[in-house]
Every structure is written in C-alpha cells, then in structure tokens.
Structure 1
Amino acid sequence: MQPRIKICCISSQEEAALAIGAGADALGLVGAMPSGPGVIGDEVIRSVALELPAAVAGFLLTQECTAQAIAEHVHRCAVSTVQVVNHVDPAELGRLRASLPALRIVQVIHVEGADALTLLERYEPHVHTFLLDSGSPSAAVPLLGGTGRVHDWKISAEFVRRARRPVFLAGGLRPDNVREAIRQVQPFGLDICSGVRTDGRLDPGKLHAYVAAIRTPTS
C-alpha cells in the first residue's frame, strides 16, 4: 500500500490547490511557532481549511501545550485535525480528546535519539496518529519542524514496528531519498515541507518529482 502524502507549510489557497492537484492527501497549515518556515495567520489557516475538499485533511500545526489552548486554536482555525508539535503532557491530550471527541489528534515525536521510543506508550492512548520529525524542542530557540534534517530512520522504523497507531515520517525527505525512507521505515504516510520548495515557495517541479518518486512502484 502506498503511503499517504502530506505537504506541509501551505501558505495560501494557491499553494493548497497546487499540492492537491499533485496528489496530496493532507496539507499542513502552520500556526505561530518560535522558529521554522511556513507560519501563517489563523485567519489564513481558516480560509484555506474551509475550502479543502472532503477527501483532503487539513492539519493545524500548533505550539500550544494545554487542552484549553489547543481547543481554542482549533476553533479559531475551523480544522478537524490538529498536529501538536511540542512534547506536551499526555494528560492534556486526554482532556482535549474528552472535550472534542470528533477532533483527530496527531502527536509529533522529535527523534533526537532512541529515547523517542519511550514516548510511544505515554502518548498512544490519547492520540490517533504519530508524526516522527527531526526537531529539537529543548533547544534555546525550540525547533519544532521544518528543519530539513534527516534523523535516524532505524529508530523511526522501530517506532513504526511497535506502534498501534498510523505513523507519518517527516524530516529531510526529498525526491532522491524518499524511496529509501519508505523501504526502511514503512510509514503510513510521508510529510514534507522544505524538500518541495525553492526560496520558500512551493515548487511545482520538485513537488511533482516527489510525488512521482513515491508513486513509482519498486522493482
């Protein structure tokens, strides 16, 4: 089964249409962040999310860390899926799920080492999906995504093997390495931002090359 494709850091209706036309199954809409690319205002996120076709999910990327603040961000942006980019208290996700049972919750795990595997059991009861990325949330200026860095796929593969939830893989994916990422990790989905952009803008050539690399059957 081919992995789902999520194109992140969507900045406008035009970029959303371009990504969907290329075959994206989901789009990432980045709220306020301490660093990283693709940040847009909540009003823009809302306008893009409300125009998405039913078959395409809009993921709100939020840095909020409490159930109340995440729920308020979700309501402002009119989305049905939230991607929590901080390693928050799992109890807050339990409260969020209880208060908004229809909301799909995606927890980002920043793979800085093998200790990422210990987060699986903590979060799994409270989330619908995981996303493995290459950020550094404990850095002086937290890096919560969009780094363009590849992390240790052996750890990601073990995470996928143990998980009972779908897992997206992110971090430094490009047309020239995505087939190897699929082979090694076998994720449910792939998430990309910087690898399909030129000077910060979604690049149609890179985007179509990325999608073609994923869709091409292995020999």
Structure 2
Amino acid sequence: MIVQIYSLTTVDDVQACADAGVDHVGVAAGGQDLPASISNEQARTLFEATPDGMATVALTVETEVDPILTYAEDVDPDILHLCPDVDALTVDQVREIREALPASTDVMRALDVVGEETVGVAERLDPVCDWFLLDTATDAVEGIGASGETHDWSVSRRVVEATGTPTILAGGLSPDNVADAVRAVRPAGVDSYTHTSASEARKDPEKVRAFAEAARNAAE
C-alpha cells in the first residue's frame, strides 16, 4: 500500500514523512496560488532532502503543454501530477507530455470523482498515464484536489476495476476513515493533505504516522 502525503513545505516535514514510512511526498510549486504553495527552488531543496526510495511528486494546474514541461524540467519530480479539470487537458495533450518527459518521470493524472462518467474518462486516459489520483474537486481551489471532502468510493472502485493504471485514492482521507476507504476501493495507494496537516503549510507528524499505519493495516 503506497502512502502519499501532500503538500510539504519544509525539510522537517520531509523527515517526519520519512520516519513514518511514507512512499511519495508531494508539493505544489511554481507560484500557482494553491494551498501550501512553494517556489520551484524550494521544491528542489525538499526533493534533495528525500531519502532513497521515497518518490517525489509535483502538482500543476497548468493547461498548456509547454508550461507544464517547463515546470517539470525546473522542479524535476519523479512523478508529474496533472491537476487541471478533466476537460481542460485532453488525452492527446497528456500523451504529448508523457512522451516529452524523461523516461524516469511518471505522469499522474488527477480525476474528479463525480459519477459513473469518471470511469469512462479513466478508461480513455488509461493508455497514457502511469498513475491515477482519484480526488474531490472544490470551487474554492483551482484544479482537482485539496477539498478535504470525500466522494463516492464505489465509483473509485469501478475505476480500479476498469483500468490497469495504478490508482491512488485521495479526497478527505484521514487516519479515521482511510482503513474503510482502502477496504472499499482496494487502490494501489492513498493520499492525504488536509487531514494530516497541522496548518495549511505544515504537517502533523502524529497524524501522518497514524494515517500510514491505518492504511497499511487495512491493506493487509
């Protein structure tokens, strides 16, 4: 069970995630006016502090290929996390991005789980993505995610069953509900930002540890 934690802003929080056995750490870099946003330079500093075996993830809500590729080059994540609304970045654009990136960089596409149509969107993106992140959008934040709200896990389960792309489940997950989510969806991994945070920009190490333990115990 992969555990992914967003959005880190300090080296201390990177270390706290490492101590908790977190697999992926994510950032919102590039001055995109997102919660816990940091600069590209800060993102690279955090990524340099990650231990071997921990994957780095960088989120973008850009909708044009060239700015996305420039961002990826500047930040150099292991996984590029594409978070625009699903109708703002086409399958062909995602394919173009993936083909232009170094072979060492994966593409993760965020999907707003809104109903059965999400399964069809995932099926169309299945051939061009390395990861899916199933999340809950909100009008308060640009793109898909950071809502702190859950969605219909039965739809997420359908995405897992209908596609071959490894799926990370997000959207309102906390130490209290992540075990139920894992059992309901059977994803490859789980993600948390809102409910493992001490503030918008800092993580709560105890919540991170509890989240990781609950997810992995449920997966076993």
Normalised TM-score (structure 2): 0.90
Q: What residue number does 2:187 align with?
A: 187
In structure 2, the partner of 1:169 is 169
CA distance in 1, matches of 2:145, 2:186: 21
* Secondary structure class of the residue paired with 1:215: helix
The answer for the alignment partner of 2:47 in structure 1 is 49
Amino acid corresponding to residue 144 of structure 2 in structure 1: L
Q: Give the 3 Å change call, closer, same or farther, for CA 98–21 of structure 1 in structure 2.
A: same
User: Matched residues in 2 for 1:208 and 1:145: separation?
Assistant: 22
Give yes or no for contact 2:16–2:205 (8 Å, CA) kept in 1.
yes
Q: Which runs of 5+ in 1 are unaligned?
A: none
Closer/same/farther in 2, CA of residues 34 and 199 from structure 1, 3 Å limit:
closer
2:184 aligns to what SS in structure 1? helix
How far apart in 2 are the matches of 1:13 and 1:53? Answer: 11
Structure 2 residue aligned with 1:38: 36
User: Higher relative contact order at CA 8 Å, sep ≥6: structure 1 or structure 2?
Assistant: 2
Is the Cα contact below 8 Å between 2:83 and 2:143 reproduced in 1? Answer: no
Counterpart of 2:76 (choices 75, 78, 103) is: 78
Distance in 2 (alpha carbons) for counterparts of 1:53 and 1:209: 21
Paired with 2:147 and 2:180, the residues of 1 have a C-alpha distance of 19
1:92 is aligned with what amino acid? Q
Deviation sequence 1:52-71 (CA, Å, 0-9, x none): 22301100001122222111
Q: CA deviation at 1:199?
A: 2.7
Query: 1: distance between equivalents of 2:8 and 2:141?
Result: 23
Output one character per residue of 1:99-150: Cα deviation in whole Å (capped at 9) or x when no partner. Answer: 22412000000112221112112211111110000014xx486352111100
The runs of at least 4 aligned residues of structure 1 exceeding 4 Å deviation read: none
Partner of 2:7: 9
**Number of residue pairs matched by the alignment:** 214
Matches of 2:140 and 2:53, distance apart in 1: 39
Aligned partner of residue 68 in structure 1, secondary structure: helix
Aligned AA (2:149): R
Please report the TM-score for the alignment, with normalisation by the length of structure 1: 0.91
Q: What stretches of structure 2 of length at least 5 have no aligned partner? A: none
Q: 1:71 to 1:164 in 2, by over 3 A?
A: same
Alignment of 1:116-135 (within 5 A): 116-135=118-137
Q: CA deviation at 1:34?
A: 4.8
CA contact (8 A) 1:129 1:166 kept: yes
Identity %: 28
Deviation at 1:212, TM superposition (A): 2.0
Name the CA shift for 1:165/1:218 in 2 (closer, same or farther; >3 Å).
Answer: closer
Distance in 1 (CA, whole Å) between partners of 2:55 and 2:219 is 27
In structure 2, the CA distance between the partners of 1:160 and 1:27, relative to structure 1 (3 Å rule), is same
Q: What root-mean-square deviation, in Å, do the aligned CA atoms of Structure 1 and Structure 2 show? A: 1.8
In 2, the alpha carbon distance for the partners of 1:143 and 1:68 equals: 18
* 1:134–1:151 CA contact under 8 A, matched in 2: yes
Matching residue of 1:68: 66
